[in-house]
């Protein structure tokens, strides 16, 4: 399946806006002693902002989606009650590569990779590039925790913008926090070949779909 092919039947796939929550830092607590040591103020780690935030995030987005397609990925959210599974293109079952597992094990095939946190930003950039346009994700970088955040106006029917925060590790998106009008959730991203149990979800969903069509 090509990088740009796959739509989420799940709320998680809201095309170009998805990023992850920053990591909260904890302050050290003093240990009582008979001879108090001079106290020091906790220091915060500052991560330097990339020279070009958009270029840096575009590269991260493409690398993440490429890895998901090449090696597979499992993305879980909503406290682990829902997940999206993508097998490597080379391991597609009956030409299908992705499935969404909802609450109570309800299955739905995924048709476009926009539903994956590891791919939605990459797809947005690719579509814009093909059209010779720039995509405005309202992208910002947080030096306090190294996260990237996008903010999109969801239109007059939505009271709040769609805010996505991406956490990055080793040049890949590993977590995405979504804060939208309908609520919020954190999506954990695990790259690599899905387990046999997760692959079985895909096969079951494909067999059911083909039996009905």
pLDDT tens digits, 20-29? 222 323 333 3
**Is residue 71 a contact partner of residue 192, using CB atoms and an 8 Å limit?**
yes
pLDDT tens track for 76-131: 998 888 999 999 988 999 999 999 999 889 999 999 998 899 999 999 999 999 99
The rounded mean pLDDT for the chain is 81
| 8 pLDDT more than 90 | no
151 belongs to a structural domain: yes
5 belongs to a structural domain: no
Judged on CB neighbours under 10 Å (0-12, 13-18, 19+), 75 is buried
33 belongs to a structural domain: no
pLDDT at site 38: 44
Check which CATH number belongs to the domain holding 201 and give it. Answer: 2.50.20
Length of the chain: 213
The residue with tokens 């050290």 is: 28
pLDDT at site 187: 96
- pLDDT band with cut points at 50, 70 and 90 for residue 182: confident
Q: Which value, in Å, is the radius of gyration of the alpha carbons in the chain?
A: 20
120 belongs to a structural domain: yes
Query: pTM for this structure?
Result: 0.76
184 belongs to a structural domain: yes
19 belongs to a structural domain: no
Distance CA 208, CA 193 (A): 23
**Is residue 152 a contact partner of residue 165, using CB atoms and an 8 Å limit?**
no
How do strand 82-86 and strand 73-77 relate by DSSP bridges? antiparallel
> Residue 106 belongs to what domain range?
53-212
96 belongs to a structural domain: yes
Taking the CB of residue 166, how many other CB atoms lie within 10 A of it? Answer: 29
Please enumerate in sequence order all residues whose Cβ is within 8 A of that of 6, keeping only pairs 6 or more positions apart, or say none.
86, 97, 98, 110, 111, 112, 113, 114, 115, 116, 119
pLDDT at site 20: 29
Is residue 184 within a helix (H) or strand (E), and if so which, with residue range? strand 183-191
42 belongs to a structural domain: no
Q: How many domains is the chain built from?
A: 1
| 3 pLDDT more than 50 | no
């Amino acid at each position: 399946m090509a990088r740009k092919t796959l739509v989420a039947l799940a709320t998680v796939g809201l095309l170009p806006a998805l990023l992850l929550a920053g990591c909260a830092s904890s302050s050290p607590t003093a240990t009582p002693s008979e001879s108090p040591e001079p106290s020091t103020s906790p220091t915060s780690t500052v991560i330097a902002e990339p020279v070009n935030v958009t270029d840096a995030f575009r590269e991260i987005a493409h690398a993440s989606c490429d890895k998901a397609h090449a090696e597979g990925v499992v993305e879980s959210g909503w406290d682990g009650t829902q997940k999206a599974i993508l097998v490597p293109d080379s391991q597609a079952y009956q030409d299908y590569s992705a499935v969404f597992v909802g609450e109570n094990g309800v299955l739905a095939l995924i048709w476009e990779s926009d539903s994956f946190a590891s791919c939605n930003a990459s797809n947005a950039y690719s579509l814009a590039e093909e059209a010779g346009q720039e995509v405005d994700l309202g992208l910002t970088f947080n030096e306090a925790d190294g996260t990237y955040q996008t903010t999109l106006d969801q239109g007059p029917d939505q009271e709040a913008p769609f805010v996505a925060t991406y956490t990055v590790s080793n040049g890949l998106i590993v977590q995405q926090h979504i804060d939208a009008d309908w609520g919020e959730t954190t999506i954990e991203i695990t790259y690599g070949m899905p387990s046999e149990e997760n692959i079985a979800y895909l096969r079951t969903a494909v067999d059911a779909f083909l039996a009905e069509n």
